[in-house]
Amino acid sequence: MKAAVYRTYGPPEVVSIEDRPCPRIGDNDVLIRVHATTVSSGDWRLRTLTVPAGLGLAMRLFAGLRKPRQPVLGTELSGLVVDRGKGVTDWDPGDRVVAFPGAKMGAHAEYVAMPADGCLAHKPGGLSFGEAAAIPFGGLTALEFLRDKGRLQAGERILIVGASGAVGSAAVQLAAHFGAHVTGVCSGENAGLVRSLGAERVIDYRREDFARGRERFDMILDTTASAPWTRVRHMLTPKGRLVIVSSSARDMLRAAVNRRVIGGVSSGSHKGLRHLVRLVEDGAFFPLVDRIYPFEHIVRAHAHVDSGRKKGAVVLSIIPDISRRGPAAGSADTHRAQSLRA
């Protein structure tokens, strides 16, 4: 099978497509023919070893001290089940699925083996494979940090820093769905997009320092490591909390002793993924897709993620999806959630 492989850390050019053995499945696994996957911020961090201050050694211990331990990146995918182990009864060949290998990676390949009871869900019928592949990474992170860790309640006021990224765009939609009053922080060029996702107010970080505002929030969700506790604590209500998706080592340690600072990692549960699929089917959530690249243009896809200008997810199309809606592959146009739900 074809897979995108990186043997050393560095720029997008360290990634190349190679032939690799097709994964074998055990009795309780399914084999998925991948139709689409994404290049996420998680892939960028692993490829470049770019992490917040104080976390460099921890990242190398996880990823591999001198070279990548797992040479195939990719945290999420959509595709078809093509085989199953003899102990599997819940999935059949031909099932269209969304899957989240998460930290195990491996989705930048033509085939992926997954535990049948792992983070798998049926693909929503109204989405293309490319759109469906963008559900898990941003959606699960946003869902777990807002609902499970931060315990966001209806009527609360939330500030989402990095509101146009994969996690941020999902968080805006989910927070609005939960009944919260959403303020998003992003560039001015993305303000209309973020409002269309459900934000009541948008702050252009290029024109205004969001940390100098007078408004107080019940929750601040930081997806960009630009809202440390020392900078934003005055913006919180007496019971307000800072929820950190991306942060410095100092704030991660602070989360262990300060109840108002909440960190951790997304667990990537199948229950969470199936809940997101239901929200998609109900029209309450739509995975935002920035660009779609053919698999052979994976270096370009990584370069776009490196630019820091992506809006939502950058998708890799491994099998061309003739049902895909929206602009052509590689277009700078973004799928607008409201128009695509129509």
pLDDT at residue 252 above 90? no
pLDDT at residue 333 above 60? no
pLDDT at 213: 84
pLDDT at 59: 82
How much of the chain exceeds pLDDT 70, in percent? 93
Q: How far apart are the first and last CA of the chain?
A: 38
| Beta-strand pair 217-222/157-161 | parallel
From 15-19, 75-79, 256-260, 316-320, the region with the lowest mean pLDDT: 256-260
Mean pLDDT for 330-338 is: 39
pLDDT at 62: 87
pLDDT at residue 342 above 70? no
pLDDT at 322: 52
Q: Are 121 and 280 in contact (CB under 8 A)?
A: no
Q: Tell the CATH superfamily of the 137-262 domain.
A: NAD(P)-binding Rossmann-like Domain (3.40.50.720)
Q: 137-262: same fold as 2-135+287-341? A: no
pLDDT at 162: 95
Mean pLDDT for 196-223 is: 95
pLDDT at 56: 79
Reported as a single tens digit per residue, the pLDDT across 303-316 is 999 998 899 999 99
Mean pLDDT for 98-110 is: 96
Of 339, 332, 329, nearest to 309 by C-alpha is 332
Query: Percentages helix, strand, coil for the chain, rounded to the nearest 5?
Result: 30, 25, 45
Mean pLDDT for 258-265 is: 88
Q: Tokens 């990548």 map to which residue?
A: 68
pLDDT at 263: 87
Q: Tokens 């960028």 map to which residue?
A: 44
pLDDT at residue 81 above 80? yes
Question: What class does CATH assign to 2-135+287-341?
Answer: alpha beta
- The rounded distance, in Å, linking the Cα atoms of 74 and 133 is 11
Residues 6+ apart with CB under 8 A from 85: 25, 26, 27, 28, 29, 30, 116
pLDDT at residue 327 above 60? no
List the domain boundaries for the chain: 2-135+287-341, 137-262
The full DSSP string for 56-86 is HHHHHHHH-SSS-SS----S-EEEEEEEE-T
Residues 6+ apart with CB under 8 A from 224: 161, 162, 165, 246
pLDDT at 336: 42
- The rounded distance, in Å, linking the Cα atoms of 186 and 16 is 32
pLDDT at residue 278 above 90? yes
Compute the Cα dihedral for 214, 220, 222, 225 and give only its sign: positive
pLDDT at 225: 87
Q: Are 217 and 227 in contact (CB under 8 A)?
A: no
Average of per-residue pLDDT values in the chain: 91
pLDDT at residue 341 above 60? no
Read off the pLDDT band of 337 (50, 70, 90).
Answer: very low
pLDDT at residue 112 above 60? yes
Reported as a single tens digit per residue, the pLDDT across 133-191 is 999 999 999 999 999 999 999 999 999 999 999 999 999 999 999 999 999 999 999 99
